[in-house]
Structure 1
Amino acid sequence: MRAHNAPDRNRGIDMIGRLNHVAIAVPDLEAAAAQYRDTLGAHVNPPQDEPDHGVTVVFIELPNTKIELLHPLGDDSPIAGFLAKNPSGGIHHVCYEVTDILAARDQLLASGARVLGNGEPKIGAHGNPVLFLHPKDFTGTLVELEEVAGGAA
């Protein structure tokens, strides 16, 4: 038990907000969307091309979060490489909300975490700035941060 005035070493800096979505790379976007819609009864949104990210996405709305189905837009898509290694598909990344993506990036860089790409946010599928963090810095998980007003509660 710690003293009342001692810092809690298990507590990080408040940055991360709610889980925005779990992204799953899929070899057949239509079949995956149909499985969620027809088998699980989920609300499935129409496909949306995201050329800046090299993917087509389908968002599945759940009561507490979303599933993002990812399919490559071309052979040079990062998802094409993922599917080459994982032909059946699988979980690609998790996305957490933050209120200030630049402050979050700077805090993470100062802690030694690596931001993928050039370190500048891109606009993601929801029209908000996003960044990706190196999986080797987060227990083998690719992490996306998305700036959302009120995200880090």
Structure 2
Amino acid sequence: MMKLGRLNHIGVATPSLEASLAYYRDVMGATLTHEPFDLPAQGVKVCFVDTPGENGTHGTQIELIEPLGENSPIHGFIAKNPAGGQHHMCYEVPDIHEAKKWFEGLGKRVLGEPRIGAHGTLIFFVHPKDMNGVLTEIMETPREAH
């Protein structure tokens, strides 16, 4: 039986990466783990921050996503939520294709085919109506992961 792996990150949509980076750094004590970069295939500009964990370790990783133009899927989210907010949660799996078949076998709506995500590994999304109201990203575990 297929099982989800660890929570990799929480995706937060924002109208301004710059403002969100300042907030997470200055208020939440987070550190930037990747410089912001455009991900045109997803229609977003992305960066990752790590919140502080216990004893100087890294806590939870946050993916900040800003729309790249009006055709971005995040553009509609920001239009409905002008301040931004939680967009998705991302879980790791060892085999993305096996995971896709498993979710579909459970009757869950997989949104599109596996494609390269911000971590450079294959991802897909599962419709929030099938996941207790939470848009869920499924990500193949990156090779350099623990």
When normalised by structure 1's length, the TM-score is 0.85
Once superposed, which parts of structure 1, at least 4 consecutive aligned residues long, lie more than 4 Å away? none
Name the count of aligned residue pairs.
Answer: 138
- Cα distance in 2, alignment partners of residues 71 and 25 from structure 1: 6
% identical aligned pairs: 52
Q: How far is the alpha carbon of 1:94 from its aligned partner?
A: 0.2
Higher strand share: 2
- Cα distance in 2, alignment partners of residues 15 and 25 from structure 1: 27
- Cα distance in 1, alignment partners of residues 2 and 97 from structure 2: 14
Task: Tell me what 2:118 maps to.
Answer: 125
Q: How far is the alpha carbon of 1:15 from its aligned partner?
A: 1.6
Q: Is 1:24–2:12 an aligned residue pair? A: yes
Q: Deviations over 1:121-153 (max 9, x none)?
A: 110111100000011100111000000158xxx
Task: Tell me what 1:110 maps to.
Answer: 105
- Cα distance in 2, alignment partners of residues 103 and 37 from structure 1: 37
Task: Tell me what 2:84 maps to.
Answer: 89
In structure 1, stretches of 5+ residues that fail to align are: 1-12
Task: Tell me what 2:55 maps to.
Answer: none
Q: Flag the structure with larger Rg.
A: 1
Q: Check conservation: 2:12, 2:65, Cα contact below 8 A.
A: yes
How does 1:14-93 map onto structure 2 within 5 Å?
A: 14-44=2-32, 45-62=34-51, 63-93=58-88
- 1:142 maps to a residue whose letter is L
In structure 2, stretches of 5+ residues that fail to align are: 52-57
